[in-house]
A and B are shown apart, each in its own frame.
Chain A
Amino acid sequence: GQQLNQSPQSMFIQEGEDVSMNCTSSSIFNTWLWYKQDPGEGPVLLIALYKAGELTSNGRLTAQFGITRKDSFLNISASIPSDVGIYFCAGRRNAGNMLTFGGGTRLMVKP
């Protein structure tokens, strides 16, 4: 299926730094989701966004649904070692459609 363009592909940062990653698409999505996958585990839903312009926080995580409905970003503030993993964005156009996933951002945090 169609892939969302997720960037960066990987990040290696120092503990305490802030992190930003984003997803873009040439098509409109009506729902944006952000998942985190720990090594050897299945992805876990972090944040779900349902309205254009919506800004939602979950602890140190903040995600926004772009106004154009063609992009979304995820920020992590004050990173810690347990933030290590692969972060995936996903979009859904309409009810009943499949989720389209981005290629993932691999985050590595140096203590």
Chain B
Amino acid sequence: SQTIHQWPATLVQPVGSPLSLECTVEGTSNPNLYWYRQAAGRGLQLLFYSVGIGQISSEVPQNLSASRPQDRQFILSSKKLLLSDSGFYLCACGTGGPEAFFGQGTRLTVV
């Protein structure tokens, strides 16, 4: 079965600083990969999804970007963080079935 690794688990960054969150998947190949953001106590907002290397679709306009340099690696980035970028970021993968499996998440606080 697949395993999803996300790091770091927590991150405190100043406004205007860059961001790089990494997600890697083990135990499967050619997965669909997703980045979600969750505001405190709220639902899941889909930010990006990828069906293959170099293929990124954005669901909402924002200050963030995503890249998929390898089949099982998905990176979420920003050049300059805003206060509103604070939240809980979740990477997820789909392995052909209808289910999606989530990583442990990264809590980002922009100060």
A residues near B (Cβ < 8 Å) are 1, 3, 30-31, 33, 35, 40-45, 48, 50, 86, 88, 90, 92, 95, 98-99, 101-104, 106
User: Does B107 make an interface contact (CB < 8 A)?
Assistant: yes
A98 adjacent to B105 (CB under 8 Å): no
State in angstroms the CA–CA spacing of A44 and B59 once bound together: 23
B92 cross-chain contacts in A, Cβ below 8 A? 42
Number of interface residues of B (CB under 8 A): 20
Q: Mark B77-89, 1 if CB is under 8 A from A, else 0.
A: 0000000000000
Chain A nearest CB: distance from B6 CB in Å?
A: 8
A104 adjacent to B43 (CB under 8 Å): yes
Q: Of B43, B98, B103, which contacts A33 at CB under 8 A? A: B98
State in angstroms the CA–CA spacing of A102 and B59 once bound together: 17
